A and B are shown apart, each in its own frame.
Chain A
C-alpha cells in the first residue's frame, strides 16, 4: 500500500519568503507528527496531531511555524518569513502504533 508522501521534495526559498510543506499520511492513520532534521542529526519533534486536533506543538521553534490538519488527513506545515536557520529536512510521520516516515522535504533558505 501507499506510504507517507510529502511534497515538494525540495524547496529553495529566499530569506523572508513564506513556504508550505504538505504531508499525505497513510490512509486511516489517526496520528500525524512533524519533525525537523538538521544535517547530520536525528529528527527533532515539532508538532503532533490526532485526527484534526493539534495536541502538542511544543517543538515548534517560533511563532513563524504553523501546522494544520483541517480534515484529519492531509497536513500542512507553514513557515513564515523563512530564515537561514530554518534550512533542514522536514519529516512527516503517521501512525496507528509505530511511526512511519515520509521521504521528507529538504528546505534550503538562501
Chain B
C-alpha cells in the first residue's frame, strides 16, 4: 500500500513557467513532509520541508502548500529553469528521525 501518492508522473514546463507537483497521504499521524530533488546518478537532495502546523512555506523559488484537512501537499517551482530538470519526490514521516515514506516521483523537464 502506497502511503504517499504523487502526481503527475512526468511534467514538461516552459522556462519561466510554474511547475506544480501534488502529493496526498492517508496517515494523519504524519507530521513532517519534505521534498527531495534527484538528478540522474545522484542521491536525493533536500529541497524544502514543512510541518502540518503551517499552510505554506517558501524558500526562494520553491513553495510548499499544505492542506491538512484534505491531506494533500504540493510543491510549486516558480520561474522554472532548465537546471530544475530532475526527478522530484515528496515524502512523509511520523516524526523527524523516523523513516520516510516516499512518493513515486515526478520527472520534471523544463524546456528553454
Residues on A facing B (Cβ under 8 Å): 4, 31, 33, 35, 40-45, 48, 50, 56, 59, 91, 93, 95, 97-104
Q: Number of contacting residues on B, CB 8 A?
A: 23
Report A-chain residues with C-beta under 8 Å of the C-beta of B44: 43, 91, 101
Which interface residue of A33, A43, A44 has the most chain B CB atoms within 10 A?
A: A43
Q: Are A33's CB and B96's CB within 8 A?
A: no
Q: Are B99's CB and A48's CB within 8 A?
A: yes
Within 8 A of A (CB), among B7-59: 32, 34, 36, 41-46, 49
Q: List 13 A-B contacts (CB under 8 A).
A: A33-B100, A42-B6, A44-B102, A48-B98, A59-B99, A93-B43, A95-B97, A97-B96, A101-B43, A101-B45, A103-B41, A103-B43, A104-B43
Q: How far is the CA of A104 from the CA of B45 in the complex (A)?
A: 12
Report B-chain residues with C-beta under 8 Å of the C-beta of A42: 6, 89, 91, 102-105
Residues on B facing A (Cβ under 8 Å): 6, 32, 34, 36, 41-46, 49, 89, 91, 96-105
By beta carbon, the residue of chain B nearest A92 is B43
Q: How far is the CA of A100 from the CA of B97 in the complex (A)?
A: 11
* Sample of 7 more A-B contacts, CB < 8 Å, known A41-B104, A42-B105: A31-B97, A43-B89, A59-B99, A98-B49, A98-B96, A99-B34, A104-B43
Q: Are B97's CB and A41's CB within 8 A?
A: no
Q: State how many angstroms separate the Cβ of B36 from the closest Cβ of chain A.
A: 8
Given contacts A40-B105, A42-B89, A42-B105, contact A99 B100 (CB under 8 A): yes
Which interface residue of B43, B100, B103, B104 has the most chain A CB atoms within 10 A?
A: B43
